Amino acid sequence: MFNKNRRTNDMSGYNTITPEIIDQIKGVVAPNRVYTGEDINEDFSHDEMSIYGKRMPDAVVSPISTEEVAAVMKIAYDNNIVVTPRGAGTGLVGACVPIYGGIVMDMTKMNKIEGYDLDNFVVQVQPGVLLNDLAEDCVKQGLMYPPDPGEKFATLGGNVSTNAGGMRAVKYGATRDYVRAMTVVLPTGEVVKFGSTVSKTSSGYSLLNLMIGAEGTLGIITDLTLKVIPAPKEVISLVIPFETLDDCIATVPKFKFNHLDPQALEFMEKAIVQASERYIGRSVYPQVIDGVEAGAYLLVTFDGNSKEELDDVIEQASDIVFDNGAIDVLVADTPTKIKDAWAARSSFLEAIKAETNWKDGLELLDECDVVVPLNQIAPYVKYVYEVGEELGLRIESFGHAGDGNLHIYTIGDDKISVEEFEKKADEFFSKIYPKATEVGGLVSGEHAIGAGKLKYLAESVGQKQMDLMVGIKRVFDPKMILNPGKVCYKL
């Protein structure tokens, strides 16, 4: 974790923004979209995980076109000024925190859905469009944009920059699988286009895919062409309670083995379900069924072309889960029931944050989103809780069971300081990240690396891979001014 009070590093070689530079920026962007001093909203100093620190930028610029982004980037490059791209600020690893000050490039005003090409099943959008807005607009067209991260009010540019996954990744894949093309402003201010509307390519190195998941360190995305698909005609969800977490997670591979193809397959423990229900103010998941107390749940969604098709799927799925220890199978077969089932799941992070202690203006909360092989989920989760108990930390977990992506939160009590919590959290992660690597997993499934997980990534992949990533960064960004100190190196 970086020092929360860190000022610009004298060794970085970055320059300070002067009034003259601000005047230059106001010459290419309307002055009412350039903010300095007390006009800068405090939200621009942090993301959703405050433990990774806060730093106010020296200026915030809100462009509305590729040309404006390019002009500001050219000024920053010529003057050696740091620029940090930012979407809605919903990230969880400090990726959009301006840890060296400089300019925050606020992309939220570039928020137009520019149009659909229904012959080629793509939509063109600006990066500040919210995921929720595109999802709702697609429904009106009879389409679906499959990526479905838990934070529905993140920007699409942010989703692409972190390769966000979400609930439907088990069937449809992550954001990467839906990006066909993009316009990018390089750190030099040059404008390039990567990819095209076509569905496949073997045309040289995939610079498009290099940008996806780069967290705004290689360029600033200003336009996106995204793949969409016809919306499924029928959708149904199952809430499946189990007595134990082990039985719950051990059932997950059975769906694939039996040729079932769920749209989403989530696991959750009783404690996090109860916290979520307290947060949303209503009970959705049964706590006791026929005298048996539920300790964990699967939430499974299937989609198809007809109700009859899904009825057959429900019957097969029910046979599988009952054979593997399920207490019951509850069918959510109306829009209201489905909405209620997923409302509880979608509120997990907010529920955790609502019950988290604060010290010195920071939440005593940290998280990881490791991804492990499916057959390692149960033993890995058991190990995580053992380490948490050993260190005296409260642990909450849930995850995308269908693809092995686990969300693990560590929460400090009100008796320890921020420094003590950070030390304990680091000790916790220094044990569970290597364990994930040991069982064939990776540091992040969808939240990315930012500044917060850089150390653990380096330990997982080794120095050679980190050096290769830094080399790529230097090719795109010779002066290292674009979102420095993130993903693959520290200054």
Q: Is the dihedral of CA 172, 370, 216, 36 positive or negative?
A: positive
pLDDT, tens digit, 9 for 90 and up, residues 88-143: 999 999 999 999 999 999 999 999 999 999 999 999 999 999 999 999 999 999 99
Architecture of domain 356-470: 2-Layer Sandwich (3.30)
CATH top class, domain 234-350: alpha beta
The residue ranges of every structural domain in the chain are 19-107, 113-230, 234-350, 356-470
Q: The tokens 């520019």 sit on which residue?
A: 114
Q: What is the DSSP string of 284-305?
A: -S-SEETTEE--EEEEEEEEES
Query: What's the confidence (pLDDT) of residue 11?
Result: 41
Query: What's the confidence (pLDDT) of residue 41?
Result: 97
Q: How far apart are CA 46 and CA 23, in angstroms?
A: 26
Intrachain domains 19-107 and 234-350 with the same fold: no
- The residue length of the chain stands at 491
**Going by C-beta distance under 8 Å and a sequence separation of 6 or more, which residues neighbour residue 171?**
146, 261, 262, 263, 264, 402
- The token pair at 341 is 């089932």
| Residue-wise burial string across 17-48, b where 16 or more C-beta atoms lie within 10 A, e elsewhere | beeebbebbeebbeeebbbbeeebeeebbbbb
Query: What's the confidence (pLDDT) of residue 4?
Result: 36
Decide if 346 contacts 259 (C-beta within 8 A).
Answer: no
The rounded percent of the chain whose pLDDT value lies above 70 is 98
- Phi/psi for 134 (5° steps) reads -70, -40
Q: Which residues of the chain have pLDDT under 70?
A: 1-12
Query: What's the confidence (pLDDT) of residue 3?
Result: 35
CATH top class, domain 113-230: alpha beta
Question: Residue 313, Cα to own-chain centre: how many angstroms?
Answer: 30
Q: How far apart are CA 158 and CA 170, in angstroms?
A: 21
Architecture of domain 19-107: 2-Layer Sandwich (3.30)
Query: What's the confidence (pLDDT) of residue 73?
Result: 98
Q: How far apart are CA 126 and CA 147, in angstroms?
A: 17
pLDDT, tens digit, 9 for 90 and up, residues 212-229: 999 999 999 999 999 999
Query: What's the confidence (pLDDT) of residue 12?
Result: 63
